[in-house]
Amino acid sequence: MEYESVIGLEIHVELDTESKMFCNCSTRFGEEPNTQTCPVCLGLPGSLPVANEKAIEYVIKSGLAIGCDISLYSQFHRKNYFYPDMPKNYQISQYDLPLCINGHVDLDMDDYETRIGVTRIHLEEDTGKLIHVGGAGRIAGAEYSLVDFNRAGVPLMEIVSEPDIRTPEEAKVYAQKLRAILISLGVSDCSMEKGSMRVDANVSIRPKGSTEFGVKTELKNLNSFRSLQRALTYEIERQKKALEEGEVIVQETRHWDESKNRTSILRTKEYAHDYRYFPDPDLVPMQFDSSWIESLKAEIPELPDERKQRFIRRFGLPAHDANLLTATKAMGDFFEEAVSIYAGDPKAISNWILGDLSYYLNTENLEIDESAITPKHIVEMLKLIDNGTISGKIAKEIFPEMFETGKMPQAIVEERGMTQISGEDEIAKIIDTVLAENAAVVQEYREGKERAFGFLVGQAMRLTKGRANPQLVNKLLREKL
Amino acid sequence: MELYKLTIHEAHEKLVSKEISAREFTESVFSRIDKVEDKVRSYLTLTKEIAFGQAEKVDRKIASGEKIGPLAGIPAAIKDVMCVEGVRTTCGSKILENYVPVYTSTAAKNLLNEGIIMTGKTNMDEFAMGSSTENSRFFPTRNPWDLERVPGGSSGGSATAVAAGEAIFSLGSDTGGSIRQPAALCGIVGMKPTYGLVSRYGLVAFASSLDQIGPFTKDVRDCAITLNYLIGHDPLDSTSVKIDKPDYTKALSDDLKGVKIGVPRELMVEGIDPKVREAVENALEVFGKSGAIVAETSLPNLDYALSAYYIIAPAEASSNLARFDGVRYGYRVPGTEDLMDMYMLTRAEGFGDEVKRRIMLGTYALSAGYYEAYYGQAQKVRTLIIRDFNRAFEEFDVLVSPTSPTTAFKIGEKIDDPLQMYLSDICTIPVNLAGLPAISVPCGMVDELPVGLHIIGKTLGEEMLLKVAYSFEQNFGWNEKPAL
C-alpha cells in the first residue's frame, strides 16, 4: 500500500529579551549556575510575576509576520505539574486564549509550493535545567541531580503548526523558514545548538488518499535541522514497516538517537497528563488596542519572502537561487554585501555561495556567518578570474585553503605561484614541447581525428599545472597544427 | 502610665513632644509581652533586638529635630505570612519551620520605611487556612477576653497582640475574613482594603485572587493612619491598583447626614446567633442618630458565596502551595529513595490536615472533566455576587452586617467539624469574592465577649467606609478592654 505521512511541528523559541518573562533577571546564556535568579524566578514564597511587555510584543510581531490573527484579549494560565526544574511546580503558560492564532508559512519546495498552517503561537516561561551527576549524565542511574535556574523564567514562545506537513523535507524547510523569519524580526537568535530553538515533531502515516489521521508519535531530541529530517524519515519507515507487519502504532514519545540513527520509546502516552490549567490570578488578562497592533506591524522589517522577490527583481537571479539565498538571514546578508562591492554579474556571486561555499559549509556543519570566508574573499576571487589572473579551475583549487585559513585569494595565488600563464611566447613554447612529445597523436589529428585535439590541450594544461590560459592554448594549438 | 495602652495617634503626640521616647515605648510593650504572652501566645517569633535597634534610630531622629511620620516609633506586629528579610517566616507551617526569607514584602517594607518598631511575627492558621488559629502547626493562640476561647483566625496572633497590648497595631491578611473575624472576636478594629490596594508582593499566597493585607488597630483613626502608609501602587504586583494616595484621616468625621446604609437581610437571618443579631440591631440605631438613613436591602445570590469560595480558594491554593516540595527550601523529609517519595512524604509531614484537605479539594475542582462544573461554575457565582453588590451600591453608600455569626467559641469546639468552622466566615467571604473593602468595629458585648459590626464599602470606597466606622465608634462610645 502507498502511505502518506502527516507531520506537525511544535517549535519552542527563547525570545531575545534583556530580562526574563516575569522578573528583571538577565537572560544571558552560559553564566555560572543560579547567578541569574531572584525571588520571582526561584518561586520563593510571596513573590509575584509581572509580565515582560517586550516579550509580548515579540510574540505579536512573530504572529503578524506569519499572518496570524492577533488576540486583542489574551490571558496567562497556570500549567500544574511537579518537576524539580520548575520552581513553582507550575509553569505560567497560555491555554485557550493564546496571543496569536491562524497563521501560515508558505514553502517553496523548488518543484512545488505548499502552505503550512500555524494553529497558534503562545507565550510561556522556560524551566530550569537539571544536571544529573553520575549515571552518565542521564536521570536513570544518576547519583543525584542539581538544578540551574538561570534559564527558569526566560520567555519562551511556542509555535504549533497544523498537521499540514507531508514530507521530512517539508518539515525541515518549514522549520528553517520560521527560523529565518524570526531572525529577521530580531526576536530570537534561534540557535538549535544553544537550545534557543527546539523542535518537537508529531508524525503519523495513513493510506494515501485517506483523510483520517493515523496514531501519531512524538519525536524529541531533534537538535538540528538534519536530525529533524533524518528522525522523521526513520520514523515514517518504522511506522510503515510496523503497519505492513500487522502491528499497531502506539501513541508515545520517542527519543531520536543521532549516533544510532534511530528512535526509541521515551514514554507512552496511555493517559493524557492532567495539567489542571486555570487562569493565573497573579496576572491580569492582557488587552490590546488595534492601533498598537498596527504600530507593531509597521515595525516589521523585510521578511525572507519579500527579500527573495527583491533578489529576483533587482539582481536578476533565478527563483531557485533567490530562494536558497534567502533561506537564512545570514546567507542573504552575505550575498548582498558581496554584490555591493562587486561590479560584475550577481549570478556569479550566487553560484559561488550556493556551490563551493555551501558545499564546504555543509561538510563542516557551519553557518555562513561562522565561516572564515567573507564576501570580500568571494569578490576578490571573482575579480582575479575576471582580469585573467586565475582560471575558474584555479579558483576552485584555492577555495579549500581560503575556507580553512581565511587567507585572501590574491595572497594564496601568489604564494603558490598559481597565476595564469597568458604570455603568447610562453604558451607557444609549451605547445612546441607538447607537439614534440606526442608526434603520434599529432599524426592522428592530421588524419582527421578531432578528439586528438582535446588530448593535446589537456597535455598543455598538465604541463602548466592548469595555469595556462585555456583560450590561448586553443588558439595557438590550432595555428601550429 | 502604661504606655502599651496608647493608640498610634496618642503615642505619636507624646513622641513628638518628647514626653516619651521610642525606647521607653518599646520597653513598655515588651514588658507587657513578658507578662501576658505565656497566656495568650500571639507570637511565633519575637524580634526584640531588631525592635530596640529601630527604636534607637527613631529616638536619634527625634533628638536631632528631624520630623517623624505618624508611624515612626510605633511598636507593631506582623502576621507570619509576610516575608521580612532575615526573619524566620513560617506561615504557621512545619514545612516552613526554619525558612528565612531573603527579601521583605512590600507592605512590611512600607511600614518599616516609616520607622515602625517590629515586635515580631504573629501566630496564624497554617497558610492562613482557618478561622480559629487552632490550625497553627505550633500552638493555638488564646482569646484575651477568655483564655479558653479562640481569638478567631486566621490572623489570630495579630488580633490578640493588639487586643492584649502586646503591640500597638499589627498587620494581618484576609482571604475570607481572616482580619475582620478575629478583630470582631477580640474587640478591636480590623480592616480588609479593596483588592489590589495593598501590594501582595511578599505575602505568601493562599488564594491570590482573594488575599489582601490590612491592619488591626485599637481604633478607627489608627486604622486610617496605618492605611495611609500601607497602600500605593507596586510595580512588583500586577494586580496592584494605580490611584492617587488619599489621606484617609481626612475622611474621619462623625457627621453621617444623608449617608445611606443598607442592611442585607441575607446576613441578618439564618445562622446568626440571635444575641449577636440583637447587638448589631442595637448598633444600627446609633447610625440613625448621626443622620444616616438605614434600610434593609438584599443580596440574593449570597447563599452560594460559601460554596463558590470553597471551590475558588482551594483551587488557587492547590497551585500556590505546590512550590513547597522540599527541593529548594523549607522542610524535606530525610532519607527518601526517589523524587516521588521525597515529594509525597515531605508534603504529607510538612502540611497539616486542613491544608491537605484544601489542596485535595482544589486539585479535584481543577481536574479535567470537573473544571467547568466546579471552578467554572464558582466563577459564575462570583460574577453574580459582584452584580448583587453593585446593585445594592447603586442605592447605598455602605452595607452593614455582623462580622461573625457568633462570638468567640471554645478552643476545640469546631476543630473536628470543618463545615461549622467554615460557617464562621459566612458574612465576610462574599466581600472577598467581590474584592470590596470592609471593616469590623466593636459594637458591644454578648455574654462578656465582644461583637463586631461589619461595614462593607464600594470598590476603593475606603474613605466612606472609614467615615461611617469612625462615626459609629465615636457615637457608640464602647471602650472596654480585656481584663488580662
Give the tens place of pLDDT for each residue, A407-434. Answer: 999 999 888 877 777 778 888 888 888 8
Say yes or no: ipTM exceeds 0.90. yes
Q: Do A284 and B201 touch (CB under 8 A)?
A: no
Mean pLDDT of B47-61: 98
The beta-carbon contacts of A313-319 under 8 Å, at least 24 apart in sequence, are: A315/A339, A315/A346, A315/A347, A315/A350, A316/A346, A316/A347, A317/A346, A317/A347, A317/A350, A318/A347, A319/A108
pLDDT digits (tens, 9 = 90+) for B150-177: 999 999 999 999 999 999 999 999 999 9
Quote the number of domains for chain A.
3
pLDDT at B368 over 70: yes
B370 touches chain A (CB under 8 A): no
Q: Tell me which residue of B174, B220, B169 sits closest to B193, measured CA to CA.
A: B174
The answer to whether A144 contacts chain B (CB < 8 Å) is no
Of B308, B314, B305, B315, nearest in space to B456 by CA: B305
**Least CB–CB distance from B316: residue in A45, A82, A281:** A281
> Which pLDDT value is given to residue A272?
63
For residue A48, what are the CA distances in angstroms to A468, B204, B230, B234?
Answer: 75, 10, 18, 11
State how far the Cα of B175 lies from the Cα of B233, in Å rounded to an integer. 20
Residues of B in contact with A44 (CB under 8 A): 83, 101-103, 329
Q: Alpha-carbon distance A84 to B326, whole Å?
A: 10
Domain of A462, CATH number, reads 1.10.10.410
Whether residues A136 and A277 share a domain: the answer is yes
CB pairs under 8 A between A and B: 95
Collect all residues of chain B within an 8 Å Cβ-Cβ radius of residue A50: 235-238
CB contact under 8 A, B201 and A46: yes
What residue of B is the nearest CA neighbor of A42?
B328
Q: Name the residue among B105, B209, B368 with its Cβ closest to that of A46.
A: B105
Output the pTM of the full model.
Answer: 0.91
Name the B residues in 66-105 with CB < 8 Å from any A CB. Answer: 82-83, 89, 91, 96, 99, 101-103, 105
Q: Does B205 contact chain A (CB < 8 Å)? A: yes
In this prediction, residues B445-462 reach a mean pLDDT of 98
A89, A272, A274 ranked by CB distance to B325: nearest:
A89
Q: Report the C-alpha gap between A225 and A193 in whole angstroms.
A: 11
Put simply, the answer to whether A278 touches B371 (Cβ < 8 Å) is yes
Q: Kindly report the length of chain B.
A: 484
Q: Are residues A150 and A19 in the same domain?
A: yes
A48:B328 CB<8 A: no
Same structural domain, A398 and A379: yes
The whole-number pLDDT of residue A387 equals 86
Q: Which of A22, A47, A96, A280 to mutate to test the interface with B (most CBs of B within 10 A)?
A: A47
* The pairing of beta strand A73-74 with beta strand A286-287: antiparallel
Interface probe, candidates A22, A89, A95, chain B, greatest B C-beta count within 10 A: A89
Among the ranges given (A205-214, B145-154, B314-323), the one the predictor scored with the smallest mean pLDDT: A205-214
Tell whether B171 is within 8 A of chain A (Cβ). Answer: no
Same domain, A170 and A32: yes
Q: Measure the CA–CA gap between A215 and A163, rounded to whole angstroms.
A: 13
Distance to chain A for B368, nearest Cα, Å: 6
Cβ of B323 within 8 Å of Cβ of A45? The answer is: yes
* Residue A73 forms contact with B (CB below 8 Å): no
B235 — contact with chain A (CB < 8 Å)?
Answer: yes
CA distance B454 to chain A (A): 27
> A45 vs B316: CB contact, 8 Å cut-off?
no
Domain end point (choices A397, A416, A435): A416
Q: What is the number of residues in chain A? A: 481
How far does A284 lie from chain B, in Å, by closest CA?
Answer: 6
Give the mean pLDDT of B95-113.
Answer: 98
**Taking the mean position of all CA atoms in its chain, how far away is CA B99?**
22
Same-domain check for residues A46 and A154: yes
**Alpha carbon B183 to chain centroid distance?**
8
Digit-coded pLDDT (tens) for B182-209:
999 999 999 999 999 999 999 999 999 9
On whether both A407 and A327 belong to a single domain, the answer is yes
- Domain residues for the domain of A463 are 424-480
Residue A277 with chain B: CB contacts under 8 Å: 366
- Chain B CB contacts of A274 under 8 Å are 367-368
CB spacing of A45 vs B99 below 8 angstroms? yes
The reply to whether A88 touches chain B by the CB within 8 Å rule is yes
Query: In whole angstroms, what is the distance from residue A7 CA to residue A163 CA?
Result: 5
Q: Do residues A19 and A58 both lie within one domain?
A: yes
**CA A281 to mean position of chain CA atoms:** 39
Does the CB of A96 have a partner CB in chain B at under 8 Å? no
**What gap in Å lies between CA A27 and CA B467, rounded to an integer?**
49
Gap between the Cα atoms of A214 and A235, Å rounded: 13
B316 touches chain A (CB under 8 A): yes
Q: Does A90 touch chain B (CB under 8 A)?
A: yes
Separation in Å, CA A429 to CA A230, A252, A433, A460: 56, 74, 6, 10
> A102, exposed or middle or buried, with CB in 10 Å at 0-12, 13-18, 19+?
middle
The catalytic residue positions of B are 79, 154, 178
Asked whether residue A66 falls in the same domain as residue A172, the answer is yes
* Residues in B touching A42 (Cβ below 8 Å): 328
Residues A180 and A106 placed together within one structural domain of the fold: yes
Nearest to B103 among A39, A78, A281 (CB): A39
Is residue A314 domain-shared with residue A208, that is, in the same domain? Answer: no
Nearest-Cα residue of chain B relative to residue A43: B323
Extract the C-alpha cell encoding B457: 464599602
Q: Where is the domain boundary, A416, A438, A456? A: A416
Q: What is the pLDDT of residue A404?
A: 93
Residue B266 CA to residue A182 CA, distance in Å, equals 58
DSSP for A118-138 reads EEEEEEEE---EEEEESGGGS
Question: Is there a contact between B367 and A89 if contact means CB atoms under 8 Å apart?
Answer: no
Q: Does A197 lie in the same domain as A97?
A: yes
Q: Are residues A431 and A402 in the same domain?
A: no
B82–A84 C-beta distance less than 8 A: no
Domain boundary (A361, A384, A416) is at A416
Nearest to A282 among B91, B238, B315 (CB): B238
Q: What pLDDT, on the 0 to 100 scale, is given for residue A355? A: 95
* Mean pLDDT of the region B252-264: 95
Cis peptide before A210 (omega within 30 of 0): no
Measured between beta carbons, the chain A residues lying within 8 angstroms of B325 are 82, 84, 89
* Contact check, Cβ <8 Å, B323/A82: no
Residues of chain A with pLDDT under 70: 269-272
